Structure 1
Amino acid sequence: MRIFLERITLTLVNVFLPPLSVMLVAGVGMDALVNTLWFLCGVIPGHIHGFYVTWTYFSRKKKVKKGRYPGGPKPFIYSRRVINGDASDERVRQLWRAEQRAREDAELRKQASRRSGFGLGGVTPSRRASRRSEF
C-alpha cells in the first residue's frame, strides 16, 4: 500500500511540476537538471521525462524486491538510485551474479538434455516402443 501511495503522490506532483517529482525520486543531480531543461523547453517533454524516470524507478524497485536483477543503464537516466531501483550497488551486483548463475545452469541443463538422445535422433526408449506398436 505504501508504494501505491508513493506512486500516486509522485504522479500528482509530476502533473503539476515534473522537475520536483524527478528530484524526489532521483535526488538533486543530472536527472533533475535534464528534466528542468526539458520542462523549460516545453511542458510536454518535461512531463514525459518525469513519468519515464518515475516509471523506471518503480519498475526496477519491484524487480529488486522480487530478488531479480533490475537491469543495466537506461537512456536519459543518470541517477544510480533510479538505475538500481533504490538498492545498493553491492545488492545489484549480487542479483546480477545470481541471475548469471541461473542462466549458466539452465544452459548446462539444456545442453545435457540435448546429449541424452540415446543416439537415435532424440528418440527415447518409450517413444521407440510406441513406434513399434504402430506397425
Structure 2
Amino acid sequence: MSVISAIFVVLITILMPPAGVFAISGCSVDFFVNICLTLLGYLPGHIHAFYLEYVYYDRKEQNRLGRFAARPAPGVYSDRIQSGGQGYGTIVEDPLVQSEEGRAGATGQ
C-alpha cells in the first residue's frame, strides 16, 4: 500500500508541487514554503517537494524497520515529515526508561 501511495503522491507532485507537499505534511510551514518556491519558479518548487517526499518516505521506512533518525532533516519544519508520519496521538516511552523505573521501585529507592 505504501508504494502505491508514494507513486500517487509523486504523480500529484509532478503536476502541482504544493499539492504533493500538502498530501504528506498537511497545512504546515513546509506547505507554505513550497507555495512560495513554486511561485518563484516551478523548478525550485519541484526540488523542494521531492526532497520533502524523500525525507518522509525514508523516515517512514526507517520507522518500519525499527530504526529512528538521530537528527532532524535539514530544511524540514513539519513534525509529520520528520517522524515519517508516526507519533500522532500516542506517546511511547523508551523501554529502557521503563525498566530502570521498575528496578528503582523494586529496590526501594
Alignment partners' CA distance in 2, 1:64 and 1:22:
20
User: How much has 1:76 moved relative to structure 2?
Assistant: 1.8
User: How much has 1:70 moved relative to structure 2?
Assistant: 2.8
- Whether 1:44 aligns to 2:51 is no
Q: List alignment gaps of at least 5 residues for structure 1.
A: 98-135
Q: List alignment gaps of at least 5 residues for structure 2.
A: 97-109
- In structure 2, the residue matched to 1:57 is 56
Structure number having the greater helix percentage = 1
Alignment partners' CA distance in 1, 2:70 and 2:58:
10
The CA RMSD measured in Å over matched residues stands at 2.0
CA contact (8 A) 1:61 1:70 kept: no
Once the two structures are superposed, the pairs formed by residues 1-135 of structure 1 within 5 Å of their partners are: 2-88=1-87, 90-91=91-92, 94=94
Q: Which stretches of structure 1, 4 residues or more, deviate above 4 A after TM superposition? A: none
Identity among equivalent positions (%) equals 31
Alignment partners' CA distance in 1, 2:36 and 2:66:
35
Residue aligned with 1:38, SS: helix
Residue aligned with 1:6, SS: helix
CA contact (8 A) 1:53 1:82 kept: yes
Question: Larger RCO: Structure 1 or Structure 2 (Cα < 8 Å, ≥ 6 residues apart)?
Answer: 2
Q: TM-score, normalised by structure 2?
A: 0.79
